[in-house]
Amino acid sequence: MRLMRIALILLAVILIFFGWTAYKEKGQKERINEIINKQQYVNEIEVKDLNKGKIIWTTKSEANQFKEQYPLSHIENLKKEERNQFAEKPDYTIIYKAKGKELYKVEILHLLDDNKISKEMNSFIFHANDEEYIIYWAEQQKVFEQSSNTEKLLERIQKK
């Protein structure tokens, strides 16, 4: 009888764990689908310089020029050891808004000079004004590969 209770408790713990994992994964997929479905409606972009602690650039008329058309075309989890290869505090935060509401927010992390990036992560690195960055989605702890318009945006901001 005692052995059966222990087995039932163990089974309950395993089921709770798998249920929680499935729930969390479903939430991530729903969030990704929401961004994909609403990306076309992004009409405002805000850039915050976290070193200065203020919004340094915002646009409405040029949002189409600087938003990523397919921001989630290739995303990967950023492992803890890979995250340590970048500055702890992001240089910039970019907020994409659709119809006045925040759709999603990414952080622009600066690659530390003394670290070598792995081959897997190399495709996520982009350059802006002789600096190497990565787009980090802190909400989901993922990185985005597509960065061509973000690169143009940073180059424009850094020239000011």
Q: Which residues pair with 6 in a beta bridge?
A: none
Classify residue 153 by its DSSP letter: H
Domain contains 117: yes
The reply to whether 142 falls in a domain is: yes
Residues 87, 112: contact at Cβ < 8 Å? yes
- Whether residue 108 contacts residue 133, with contact meaning beta carbons closer than 8 Å, is answered with yes
| Domain-embedded: residue 30 | no
Residue written as tokens 């929680």?
20
Looking at the domain assignment, is residue 154 inside a domain?
yes
- For the chain, the domain total comes to 1
Within a domain: 101: yes
Report yes or no on 50 lying in a domain.
yes
Consecutive 10-residue runs of the chain (160 residues): their mean pLDDT?
A: 90 94 89 86 88 79 80 81 87 90 91 74 83 88 83 80
Q: Which amino acid is at 99?
A: K
Range of the structural domain that residue 75 is part of: 41-159
What's the pLDDT score for residue 73? Answer: 76
Quote the pLDDT of residue 145.
82
